Structure 1
């Protein structure tokens, strides 16, 4: 094993944990495996994160940060708020197909941490609330009627497409969901 510079260990651990936790499941991966994959000692892992629980929270926060960057990158190409809402479906599709259709990492984590008071669940709530807030903001900007209800509905459509894409191992559910979303946000014909 090559010697790791002090500042590099945390980044290596987080990168390894992100891959392993998403691919294999959080509870299925031990800290020994993460440390070995990262090429660092367990002492370096604990020195940077303190515990596996804190590493899991860091993994989810980093995933959330990357997700927000992806949303910003893809939706920035659109000036119309309704188009930005629809572009979120493209982000989901790109994200989940790139990750091999293992599903939403946040929902996967929720299934492994059933206690609503667990810090993992707090990160998941933050992520989903931020996404809902983004949709709601864009819907308000577009002048949509009943924007709050519509944002709730779009979240259900997005999450349903994410789950269905895992089951089918295909992106088609996102195309269907995007068409449904376009219908929901289109103003009614006079």
Structure 2
């Protein structure tokens, strides 16, 4: 018999592969049971509801995703290089053959309207990412508003890469980020005058 931690790990690994690969609503607990090799009774002892399993899948994915991004970006020597490294990391992620977009956007789209907890996990993930970008912008001595602009570029690239099945949006977003970094803040934040 599997010990608690081994059984939990197997269930979460199976759930991640299935939920991310097929979508949360398309996958039942029986599919997770089958893929994990953990009995249905034991599965429900570990996760009394599918929603609890989905939430833990999202929490673990968030921690892993944020850590992988930071490991890649923080290795760059200058603050500006760290900002553009975000988009290089996104390109690597988009190039993975199993890339299906953002698990948080996908889960929010499927369950956000009916599960406040799933919606909150998605918001938490996005806020953490945006806060990370804000830290990079501050470390580079750039105006705080740049962080929101970079976040929109990254989020757009994440969605576009999934829809079109190509990593190229990461390079396009990186080029746009470089333009923003080169544009004086007074020009970038100016509002167009009305005619």
TM-score, normalised relative to structure 2: 0.88
- When residues 47 and 99 of structure 1 are mapped into structure 2, their CA distance, relative to the original with a 3 A threshold, is farther
- Provide Cα deviations, 1:30-80, integer angstroms capped at 9, x if missing partner: 000001100001111111122110100000011101111211210121132
Does the residue aligned with 1:44 lie in a helix, a strand or coil?
helix
Q: Please provide the CA RMSD for this pair.
A: 1.7
- When residues 30 and 115 of structure 1 are mapped into structure 2, their CA distance, relative to the original with a 3 A threshold, is same
- Corresponding residue number in structure 2 for 1:138: 136
Is 1:61 aligned to residue 42 of structure 2? no
For 1:1-190, what aligned pairs fall within 5 Å after superposition? 3-98=1-96, 100-115=98-113, 118-145=116-143, 147=144, 149-186=145-182, 188=184
Asked if the contact 1:96–1:104 (Cα under 8 Å) also holds between the matched residues in 2, the reply is no
- Listed as ranges, the gaps of 5+ residues in structure 2 are 186-195
- Provide Cα deviations, 1:73-100, integer angstroms capped at 9, x if missing partner: 1012113222212111122222232252
Matched pairs, number: 185
